[in-house]
Amino acid sequence: MKTYNTDVTIIGGGAAGLAAAIEVNKGGKEVLILERGIELGGILMQCIHNGFGIKEFNKELTGPEYAQKFINEVNQLNIPYKLDTIVIEITLDKKIYAVNKIEGLIEINSKTIILAMGCRERTRGAINVPGFRPAGIFTAGQAQRFVNIEGYLPGKNIVILGSGDIGMIMARRLTWEGCNVKAVVEIQPYVSGLLRNEIQCLEDYGIPLITNYSLTKIHGKNRVKGVTISKVDRNFDRIIGSDQFIECDTLLLSVGLIPENELTRIAGAEISSMGGPIVDNNLETTLEGVFACGNVLQVHDLVDLVTAESKRAGRNAIEYINKRYKKKLKGIEKIHLSAGHNINYVKPDNICLGEILGEIIINFRVKNPDRRIQINIKDETNKTLYKKKKSYVIPSEMIELKINLNNMELNPKCNGLIVEVIPQLEPLIE
């Protein structure tokens, strides 16, 4: 069995892994990327539409272009990577075991590990759609891979469930390839993806967007023959008598993404209820010296934010090697950050009190859309330490706050902070 030694091992060679690797390399540490696909770039390689890179490069790139820039840099820097390589185990002492066809089983010893495995799609089972189980049902991302990389079309007459960005982008993509997209069906009363995609992917081509409807049955024993959709009430319960049949041969599911944490679990890191590992403001998981970034931590809506987060993970990994690796330090005091009113989740889960140097970044998503709101950070005694006004919030937008705890009057006995989104308190106007 071959053994490798390095400073930092990065699991995943997509947007997150590449950015973290470059950052580590530039910081003067050795790094090794392990990628399960046959090339670097991850899911970006199949996201051939544009809209990537506005924050990072100040222009609109396609997914492959965005990835290629990082791949080129990895190659220029001679950062080593292994393709077609799957990690099968991470031990408590941070040994990684992986396999590939050429080397067999390999063992990698590193000072730190950065988890950058990305996310996966929710499936039909996760939403429990009744009906038959015929051919012709795809997750949107799987269909995207078939159309854009493998070179095959999933069907001709298509219904898409879920108005997330991937669903809408696939609606346009398939229309451009000569398919007939019959409808995009959304259970919520609003579109879950970006407005821009609603206009440019659906409206441009007259694809009906049917909100407040859920998929209630899949027809066809061998191949999909159609779907029944039904209007739902506020509790998402089907309204009797509202059923509509749509004839189609293909159903695409775009019903959400979940962080891909098989390995995180194997490694023994704690996972939060939203699916990503529990991390502190350094992006360090509950395992010392194991960091997480990108969609494996939280599903981002902009790759630019993945890049920024992953660079941060890379810098923190270097910091760890320089200051904390194999040093017995006193337990670091942490306070818990939790989700309050209208907050779906918040990251990080914990904030290290001892090392607050300047600002820390907080990300969250809301549960429900709202306008004219106020974001508060409160302590346990309900004292507001931070507030910010915002004209609107929507669940599909991940919100980023940069806060500086040094500027806040934090009670030394404070154990936890709560983030909440509440309506702005209107001044009374006569």
Partner 1 sequence: MSSSEIYDIIIIGGGVIGCSIARALCKYELKICLLEKEADIAMGTTKANSGVVHAGYAAERKFTKRNLCIRGNKLYSEAVKELNFPFKRMGSFVVAFKVEEIKLLEEIRKRGIEDGILDLELILEKQRIKRMEPNISDDIIGVLHAPSAGIVSPYEMTFALAQNAAMNSVKFFRSQEVIKIDHSDYIFTITTQRNEFKSLNVINCAGLYSAKISKMLGLDYFDITPRKGEYVLFDRNTIQLNKILFPTPTKISKGILVCPTFHGNAFAGPNAQNITDIEDTSTTTAGLKEVLEGAKKIVPNLPLRASIRNFAGLRAVPSTYDFIIDNTDIYGFINVAGILSPGLTSSYAIAEKVIDFLELLGVELKVKEDYNPYRPKPERFTDFSKKELDKKIKEDSSWGRIICRCETISEKEILNAIQGPIGATTIDGVKFRCRAGMGRCQSGFCRPRVMEILSREMKLPYQAITKKGDDTNILIAKTKDLLLKEIIKKEIQK
Partner 2 sequence: MTECEDRGIIKTIRCIVCPTGCLVEVRKDIGGEISFQGYTCKRGLEYAQQEHFDPKRIITTTIRVEDGIHPLLPIRSDSPLLKEKLSYAFKIIAKTKVKAPIKMGDILIKGIADENVNIIASRDMIKKKVE
Rounded to 10 degrees, the C-alpha dihedral 146/148/153/156 comes to: 130
Nearer to partner 1, 32 or 191 (CB): 32
Q: Which amino acid appears at position 135 of this protein?
A: A
Per CB under 8 A, the segment of 155-163, 276-284, 390-398, 410-418 that binds partner 2 is 390-398
Q: Which of 27, 50, 83, 336 binds partner 2 (CB under 8 A)?
A: 50
| 36 torsion bin: left (phi>0), alpha (psi -120 to 50), beta (else) | alpha
Bridge partners, 402 (sequence order): 361
How far is 233 from 245, CA to CA, in rounded Å? 19
The least CB distance from residue 306 to partner 2, in Å, is 18
How far is 382 from 421, CA to CA, in rounded Å? 14
Query: Which residue in 61, 21, 20, 18 sits closest to 37, CA to CA?
Result: 18
Q: Which of 104, 189, 268, 423 binds partner 1 (CB under 8 A)?
A: 104
Interaction of residue 151 with partner 1, rule CB under 8 A: yes
With CB cut-offs between 5 and 8 Å by kind, which of partner 2, partner 1, none does residue 199 bind? partner 2
Structure token digits, residue 284: 């360090």
Report CA-CA distances (Å) from 384 to 326, 341, 359, 389. 39, 14, 18, 14
How far is 294 from 14, CA to CA, in rounded Å? 9
Q: Helix 15-26 to helix 303-323 angle, to the nearest 10 degrees?
A: 40
For residues 222-281, which are near partner 1 according to CB under 8 A?
Answer: 222-223, 238, 249, 262
With CB cut-offs between 5 and 8 Å by kind, which of partner 2, partner 1, none does residue 77 bind? none
With CB cut-offs between 5 and 8 Å by kind, which of partner 2, partner 1, none does residue 49 bind? partner 2
For residues 78-97, which are near partner 2 according to CB under 8 A?
Answer: none
Interaction of residue 217 with partner 1, rule CB under 8 A: yes
Which DSSP symbol is given to 83? Answer: S
Nearer to partner 2, 45 or 305 (CB): 45
With CB cut-offs between 5 and 8 Å by kind, which of partner 1, partner 2, none does residue 99 bind? partner 1
Structure token digits, residue 39: 């090339």
With CB cut-offs between 5 and 8 Å by kind, which of partner 2, partner 1, none does residue 294 bind? none
Report CA-CA distances (Å) from 414 to 255, 280, 337. 39, 16, 11
Binding mask 195-234 for partner 2 (x = CB under 8 A): xx--xx--xx------------------------------
For residues 310-349, which are near partner 2 according to CB under 8 A?
Answer: none
With CB cut-offs between 5 and 8 Å by kind, which of partner 2, partner 1, none does residue 394 bind? partner 2
Nearer to partner 1, 29 or 182 (CB): 182
Query: Which residue in 234, 229, 233, 269 sits closest to 251, CA to CA?
Result: 229
Q: Which amino acid appears at position 83 of this protein?
A: L
Residues that bind partner 2 (CB under 8 A): 38-39, 41, 45, 48-50, 60, 62-65, 67-68, 71, 147-151, 173, 176-177, 194-196, 199-200, 203-204, 391-392, 394, 397
